[in-house]
Amino acid sequence: MKKVISFLLAATMALSLAACGNSGNSGSGDSLTIDLNAFYTEMFNAIFPDPANAPAMSEITGDYLEQTYPGLSEVETKQCLAYAPMITAVAYEIALVEVANADDVAKVQEIFQARIDTQIEGGAFYPATAEAWQNQSEIVTRGNYVALFVGAEKDRMVEAFNAAGQSEAQ
């Protein structure tokens, strides 16, 4: 009987340690909750505290969203927002999506990668902008969330995204 109880306690501890170690980078995403609008606002304001030195970003919606990210409208999303600079010579873009179905994560990753590839292959009008798309873009996935970050502060954006929602998930 002691062996059975010891085994059950050891198994319970192992499962609880595994659950605590999950940072939300994989799995179904059910335990991870991120309000993408709030995240975007907080992240952007933290990275660019002086509006005079921030890129002028505009939300991409409607037909322009479908032109920018072809196929995204076919994916069932819980949250979807994208921002691009008002001036095409500036290489900044942020797209944040929470998919309703975990099977769609790979589809959104493909759509975001196609956006990067299109910009590198001639969609960006200026050589420096195309180079920025090549060297300063990253797609990040956490559970059912997929993000595209483009810009000189890409690493800070990724870091903020990887930290988002952790207090709720733990």
* Burial group, residue 158, by CB count within 10 angstroms (0-12, 13-18, 19+): middle
Query: Could you read off the pLDDT of 53-76 as tens digits, one per residue?
Result: 888 999 999 999 999 999 999 999
Contacts of 34 (CB under 8 A, 6+ apart): 98, 142, 145, 164, 165
Q: Which pLDDT does position 30 carry in this prediction?
A: 54
Q: Which pLDDT does position 154 carry in this prediction?
A: 96
Mean pLDDT of 93-106: 97
Q: Which pLDDT does position 7 carry in this prediction?
A: 40
13 forms beta bridges with none
The pTM of the full predicted model, rounded to 2 decimals, is 0.79
Query: Could you read off the pLDDT of 3-13 as tens digits, one per residue?
Result: 434 444 444 44
